[in-house]
Chain A
Amino acid sequence: MKRISLINLKANRKSKVVEILGGGQLQDKLMNMGIYKGKEVTKLSHLGLRGPVVVKAGRSILALGHTIALKVMVEGE
C-alpha cells in the first residue's frame, strides 16, 4: 500500500491516516482536534500551491497549514 501526504491526496477523496510525522506535540495537537492514526478523513480542498489544506475529520472541518499537511500521511490509491 502506498503512503502519500495529505498534500498529494486529491480533493474530495476519503482516506485513512496511517502516520503523523514530526514531534509528539504536533501529534497530540492533531489528536485532540480529531486527526489521529486510523482516523478516516476527507480532503475538501487545497488552497494554492503552498496554502492550507482543508479536511473533514468526523464532524469537524479543520484547516491545516501547508507544512502540517505535509506531515500527515494517509493511504494512497
Chain B
Amino acid sequence: MIKKIYLIGNPNVGKSVVFSRLTGVRVMSSNYPGTTVEITKGYFPMEGEKIEVIDLPGTYSLEPTSRAEEVAVSLLKEQSKDEMAVINILDSTNLERNLVLTLQLIETGFPVIICLNMCDDAGHRGIHIDVEKLEKILSVPVISTCAVTGAGIKLLIERIKESKPITKNKLQHEERWKEIGQVIEQVQHLEHRHHTFREMLEDASVRPFTGLAIAAGVIYASYNIVRFVGEFIISKVTDPIFIKLYQPILEKLTIHWQEKGFWFHLFIGDLIGGKIDFKQSLGVLTTAPYIEFGMVLPYVISFYFILSLLEDIGYLPRLAILLDNLLHQLGLHGFAVIPVLLGFGCNVPGILATRALESKRERFIAATLISIGVPCVPLQAMIFGLLGKFGGFYVAGVYLVLFSLVLLLGIILNRLMPGYSPEFLLEIPPYRFPPLVTLLQKLYFRVKGFLIEAVPVVMIGVLFINILIYFKLFDIVTSITAPIIHNLFGLPKEAVVALVIGFIRKDVAVGLLMPLGLTVKQLFIASTLLAISFPCIATFVIIWKELGFKDLMKSTAIMIGISIIVGTLLNFTILR
C-alpha cells in the first residue's frame, strides 16, 4: 500500500513542474539548479485516498555531497520501502548523467518509476530515446513526459502503482558508469545536427569576450525594459485611475466632511493647496494606496517579468560564471549572483536563496551585503520618484554609493572573517524558451506574493504613523536624535521619522520624505541612508531565522556603523 510518493531527480529536471501537475500546488520553478530549497508537500488522490507527495531538492546521487542533497536523501530513508513510490524524474536531453541516480535508486531497493521529462526538448535537439527498450533493460516502468505542457502525466499517474522494488547488485562508481554507457548505446539515438543558433548562443555566453558583451547587453536591456514598462503602466494605467477616478470620489467625500479632525487626519491626511495630493497628504486612503499601487506595483510587475524571463531561459547561471572572479574577492562565488538578483526584487527571497550557498560564512556575507547594498524594487521605485525629477545623475549616484559599499564591505568581510569561500561547481543548463503561460503564471505568483506581504503592512504602518504624528509622539524621538541627524547628516530633525519608519517598510519611509521639502542634497543623503541602514522588518526577521540571533546582531551592528559613516561622509563631501 502506497502511503507516500517522493519526487527525486537531478537538479533542474523539472521536478517542481511535475509536482504541480500531480498535486495542483503551484510551486516556482526556474531554469537553474537549486530552486527547491524548501521541501514542498502536497496531496494527490489515489484510489479514494489522499496520498502525500513530497518534492525533494535536486540531487545528483544518493551519496550526498551538499546540504540540499543530504536533506533529500534523509527524507527518502524515513519511510518504509513498501509504503512508498519513488518517481525518479530525468532530463531526457541528458540521459547519461541522470541515470546515475536512477541506478542507485534501483540498487538500493526503492520502488522506482521513471519519468523521462522534457521529451519535447530532446526531440528538438535530435535526441531519440527508445522508452520501451529502456523499460525492459531497467525492469521498472518508464514514462516519457513533458510536464510543462502536461503530456504523459496521465500515463505517469496510471502507472504509479506499478512501481515495486527489484533486486539488483550494488555497483561501484566505475562499474555503474560502464553500465550506463551500455544502456545509452542501446536506447539512445542521436541525430546528427549542425550547431543550431541556440547552441551557438549557449556557447557564446560562456566565453570571456562574447560572454561579457552579452552580459552587458542583457543587463542594460533589462534595466531599460523594467523602467520603460514601469513608467508605461504608471502613465497609462495607474495614474489615470488614481487621478481621474479615485481622486474625484475622495474629494466628494471630503466636501461633506467639513470638520478636519482626527479621523480626517488619519484617512485623508493634509490637504496641499486645498486639494488631495497623493504623494504628500499621507493618509491611509490617499498616500498609502498610492505608494503601493501607483508607485511601487508597476515596477514590481515589470521587474519580476524580466527576472522570471531570464530565469526560465537559463541565463542566470551564465551570469554566475562571468562574475565568479569578482565575487571571489568578496568571499562569495558565482552562484551568489542569484540571491543578489532576487534581492533586487525583495530582500526576503534573496536572503532565503542564500541557502543554496554552502558555508555559513558565505551566507552571512551574502545576507549582510544584500540587506545593505541591494535596494529592493519598492525602495528603488520610490527613489526614482523622489530623485528622478532632478536628473538621472542623482539616481545613478545612489546606485554608485551602494555598489562601492558592497565591494568595499565584501572585501573587508572576506579578509576579517575566518574560513575560506568554497569553490564553485555548477551545471549550466541549456537555454529553454518558456511558454508565455508559465511565465505569466510565475509573474502572477510573485506579484500576488508581493501584494499579500506589502499592502497590509503599508496600510497599518501609515495608520500607525498618523496616530503617532497626531498625538505628537514623534517629537520626543526627533528631539533626542536631532543632534546626530542635523549635525552629522545635515538633515532636518523631522527626517528621523522617515528613518525610523524605514524599519517597517522602505517605500513608506521614502514617502514620508516627500512632504518635508528637502533640498536635492538632503534627499540624496536620506534615500541612501534609507537603503543602507536598518533592513525592513521582514528582512530583519528572515535574517534572524536563517542565520540566528548572533549573526543578526553582527549584521545589524555593521549596518548601523556604516550608515553613520556614510551619512556623515556624504554630508561633508557633497557641496551642492
Please report A residues at the B interface, Cβ cutoff 8 Å. 11, 25, 28-34, 36-39, 44-48, 50-52, 54, 58-68
Contact = CB atoms under 8 A, between A and B. Distances in A.
B70 interface: no
A33 B425 contact: yes
A47 B334 CA distance: 12
Contacts of A68: 423-425
Nearest to B93: A59
Given A30-B425, A32-B100, 12 more contacts: A28-B173, A29-B60, A32-B65, A39-B177, A45-B211, A47-B206, A47-B208, A47-B322, A52-B321, A62-B426, A63-B320, A64-B425
A60 B173 contact: no
Q: Which 4 A-B pairs have the closest CB atoms?
A: A65-B423, A65-B424, A32-B60, A32-B61
Nearest to A70: B423
Contact of B423 (A33, A54, A67): A67
A20 B101 CA distance: 21
B546 interface: no
A62 B322 contact: no
A52 B426 CA distance: 10
B129 to A, nearest CB: 12
B427 A61 contact: yes
Given A54-B206, A58-B97, A63 B65 contact: no
Interface in B80-117: 93-97, 100-101
A11 B210 CA distance: 14
B100 A63 contact: no
Nearest to B430: A61
B334 A63 contact: yes
Nearest to B63: A28
B545 interface: no
Most buried by A among B60, B93, B100: B60
B425 A65 contact: yes
Contacts of B186: none
B428 A61 contact: yes
B61 A28 contact: yes
Nearest to A49: B325
A60 B427 contact: yes
Interface string B152-196: 000000000000000000000110010000000000000000000
B289 interface: no
B324 A51 contact: yes
B248 to A, nearest CB: 58
Interface in B193-214: 202-203, 206-208, 211
B94 A47 contact: no
Contacts of A39: 177
A61 B60 contact: no
A25 B177 CA distance: 17
Nearest to B177: A36
Main secondary structure of the interface of B (DSSP, over half): helix
B193 to A, nearest CB: 13
Interface string B472-503: 00000000000000000000000000000000
A54 B205 CA distance: 11
A29 B428 contact: no
B206 A60 contact: no
Interface residues of B, number: 36
A64 B424 contact: yes
Contacts of A66: 423
Nearest to B122: A59
B206 A45 contact: yes
B218 to A, nearest CB: 16
B373 to A, nearest CB: 23
B207 A44 contact: yes
B317 interface: yes
B328 interface: yes
Contacts of B65: 25, 28-29, 32
B496 to A, nearest CB: 45
Contacts of A48: 208, 325
B68 to A, nearest CB: 13
Contact of A54 (B94, B100, B428, B430): B428
24 contacts: A29-B65, A30-B425, A32-B60, A32-B61, A32-B63, A33-B425, A34-B97, A36-B174, A45-B206, A47-B206, A47-B211, A54-B206, A54-B428, A58-B94, A58-B96, A61-B202, A63-B206, A63-B317, A63-B320, A63-B324, A63-B424, A63-B426, A64-B424, A65-B333
Most buried by A among B94, B317, B324, B334: B324
B3 to A, nearest CB: 29
Contacts of A63: 206, 317, 320-321, 324, 334, 424-428
Nearest to B333: A65
Nearest to B202: A61
Nearest to B190: A59
A50 B208 CA distance: 12
Most buried by B among A31, A37, A58, A66: A31
A52 B324 contact: yes
A27 B65 CA distance: 10
